[in-house]
Amino acid sequence: MNIPLSVLDLAPVPSNTAPSEAVRRTVDLARLADRLGYRRYWFAEHHSMASVASSAPEILIAHVAASTQRIRVGSGGIMLPNHPPLRIAEVFKTLAALHPDRIDLGLGRAPGSEPAASRALRAAGGEQFSSLMSELLLFARAGFQEGHPYRRVRPMPSDAPLPPIWILGSSGASASAAGGAGMGYSFASHFSAEPPAPAFAAYRDSFRPSPAFPQPHAILGAEVVCADTDEAADRLAATMDLTWLRIGRGEFLPLPSPDEALAYPYSEVEREQVRQRRALIVVGSPEKVRAEITARYSASGADEIMVVSNIYDHAQRLRCYELLAEVLPQ
């Protein structure tokens, strides 16, 4: 079975690593993914999180697109309530002009940050996502009616198209809207325990073709930790066990090493929380990971798998994506 693979990069920041170094490392993985045949490379948007350096995805997109040859590069996603729609139209039209037919615009409604950072961003509420989306599309299409105060506003470069738009979801609530608008849809199974199949079915049932998407296209996000053996992968996954436990307590610290995570004195309640969280992650040797990815791909009805792997060691993180490409050739 041919399963298209893509990359979601949060520019993870391990302990004892400078955040600026984590940002620079994104090119290493992007070039590897480009060479191995991965379909797309998306950056998330998060703010004020010590473990995540992807606070400015549009800049990382430009940097990586200029450093690769073939792979599509985009946002997974831009958190639309954090930004004026005109600014997003300008930024992504510019990216599309610089890198024709290689840019994706993934949009989400969550803040991507803790409350204080959202206030500092002057972010709108998620309930305004639909109106912000409508405004973005009107800017892109020069579609404001005569008499509207934005009628003569033109996002530059005006001749560049807005890239294909993808709606990001984690509960299925936005699936039908994405389909009805003729957009792509991506479901965040890497952090959501909700089953993706109903969301994908709703997306396809409501889908109306558009110039950007003649056919529906659904992406399934998956967190993967792959190593040469099950034991090695299990050890590497300990990093995210402790990271997610800390995030649940509102502690946003750099990624702990496997040694630090394995030495942590988990309570019984915490061990159960880790066990439940591990059910969302694909962990194991290449053969084990291939079997699980194939099962999730088939059961969900996805068209593509987007892999996020926040492994502590940079070389082992790159190796994870190499092993995936070996057992799921593109």
* The model's pTM: 0.96
With CA atoms as reference, report the closest residue to 183 among 108, 119, 121: 108
Identify the bridge partners of residue 223 per DSSP, sorted by sequence position. 308
Residues 157-179 pLDDT 10s: 999 999 999 999 998 889 999 99
Tokens of 101: 């037919």
Looking at domain 5-327, its CATH class is alpha beta
Residues 122-154 pLDDT 10s: 888 878 999 999 999 999 998 999 999 999 999
Residues 259-282 pLDDT 10s: 999 999 999 999 999 999 999 999
Q: How far apart are CA 166 and CA 103, in angstroms?
A: 11
Domain ranges of the chain: 5-327
Angle among Cα 200, 205, 208 to the nearest 5 degrees reads 110
H runs (alpha helix) in the chain: 19-24, 26-36, 57-67, 85-98, 115-120, 129-141, 175-180, 196-206, 230-248, 258-263, 268-278, 286-300, 314-327
Tokens of 272: 């159960």
Residues 217-251 pLDDT 10s: 999 999 999 999 999 999 999 999 999 999 999 89
Residues 156, 148: contact at Cβ < 8 Å? no
With CA atoms as reference, report the closest residue to 213 among 181, 177, 182, 174: 182
| Exposed e or buried b per residue across 23-32, where buried means at least 16 C-beta atoms within 10 angstroms of its C-beta | bebbeebbbb
Residues 65-95 pLDDT 10s: 999 999 999 999 999 999 999 999 999 999 9
With CA atoms as reference, report the closest residue to 311 among 234, 202, 196, 200: 234
The answer for residues whose C-beta is within 8 angstroms of residue 188's C-beta and 6 or more apart is 168, 169, 170, 221
Residues 6, 42: contact at Cβ < 8 Å? yes
Query: Which helix (H) or strand (E) covers residue 308, if one does?
Result: strand 304-308
Q: How far apart are CA 70 and CA 214, in angstroms?
A: 22
